[in-house]
Structure 1
Amino acid sequence: MTAQPQPTTTPRLEEPKFGFNEYAERLNGRAAMIGFLLMVAIEVVTGHGVLAWLGLK
């Protein structure tokens, strides 16, 4: 049995930055997707739209 070689490169991780940049846009997109899924889940569970659930309609 031979040992597996270890990876020789390390992943390049981006640090958070301020302003409009690729990291901020990616994070905003992911937050929007999560918010949309939560909105759909609330509508399915309660049987009412989000505005009705919040008492705005």
Structure 2
Amino acid sequence: MTSETDSANPPEALADQTPSATTSDVPAFGWSGYAERVNGRFAMIGFVSVLLVEALSHDTFLHWAGLVP
């Protein structure tokens, strides 16, 4: 005898919901905690990259990219 929740989540579907290697969050699309954490990490990498460009070129990023004359 199975309950209604067991039939809604078959074992195959539950196997796809393995947590992340670094957190207990389940990777998902949309406004999830996991997506926001990944987005924040990419933003940090981008910010450090801009700082490195400015430090190595001795110029502002906007001028280096040609956005400001």
TM-score range for the pair, normalised by the shorter chain length? 0.7 to 0.9
Quote how far apart the aligned CAs of 1:17 are.
Answer: 1.1
Q: TM-score, normalised by structure 2?
A: 0.61
Q: Which amino acid aligns with 2:55?
A: V
The question of 1:19 aligning with 2:30 is answered yes
Aligned length: 46
Higher relative contact order (CA 8 A, sep 6+): 1
Moved over 3 A (4+): none
SS of match in other structure, 2:29: coil
The question of 1:47 aligning with 2:58 is answered yes
The question of 1:37 aligning with 2:48 is answered yes
Identity across the alignment (%): 43
Unaligned runs of 5+ in 1: 1-11
Unaligned runs of 5+ in 2: 1-17, 21-25
